[in-house]
Amino acid sequence: MIGDGLVLTVAHGVAGQLSNTVTTTNGETLKAKVVVIDTEMDLAILSIQQPHTKATLKPINFGKVDRNSKIEFVIFQDSEQVVRPAKFKRNLRINTQDIYIKHDVSRPGIEVETKVVVGNSGGPLINEKGEIVGIIWSTSRTVKNRSWATRIEAANELLSRVSTDNLSTQSSQLVACVG
């Protein structure tokens, strides 16, 4: 949760979906819609589309990570929240392609050592202050437990495109699409 009713995830996990849901830490499943998507940065912002308890959904602050930081990778596995230790390797620019493999892009990234399996994409990396520092989007096919995240500052531009006027449940219109 990055704002009032807003959830950050990977674009490749929600692009083209007819419906999306968000599962809270207490197991509640909430309907959500994509309001902003960036296919080059592989980030998307969802808006929760039904009443929820604000106590259940507390926004998390954006933070930074460096070689001395302790970080954790948070995922949902079998409908339960799991926290895995992650070892920061380095900040870097990740030269890759957009989610449709049509355009070359460069993302601000974090290389980490942590176990990532199919379905973990979109899970946040959290620093020791409880701040989100990145969103996991890929794992190595050749190096065990080597994975990559998009640094959280890439989400700032996406957030600036979210207009709370456009988050109505009546509208299925996408606010912005980049890439």
pTM of the model: 0.84
Q: How many domains does the chain have?
A: 2
The verdict on 92 and 50 lying in the same domain is no
Q: Is 62 exposed, middle or buried (0-12, 13-18, 19+ CB in 10 A)?
A: middle
Domain interval for residue 38: 6-57+156-178
The verdict on 78 and 134 lying in the same domain is yes
- Asked if 125 and 70 touch (Cβ cutoff 8 Å), the reply is no
Q: Which amino acid, one-letter code, is at 168? A: S
- Closest Cα to residue 133, out of 39, 67, 57? 67
Q: What is the pLDDT along the chain (179 residues), one digit of tens a residue?
A: 577 789 999 999 999 888 998 877 777 888 999 999 999 999 999 998 877 555 566 778 899 998 888 899 998 777 778 899 999 999 999 999 999 999 999 999 999 999 998 888 999 999 999 999 999 999 999 999 999 999 999 998 888 888 655 554 333 334 444 44
Query: 101 in a domain, yes or no?
Result: yes
The verdict on 17 and 78 lying in the same domain is no
* Whole-number Å distance between alpha carbons of 102 and 104: 7
152 φ/ψ sector (left φ>0, alpha ψ -120 to 50, else beta):
alpha
The verdict on 90 and 75 lying in the same domain is yes
Handedness of CA 170, 23, 36, 38 (dihedral sign): negative
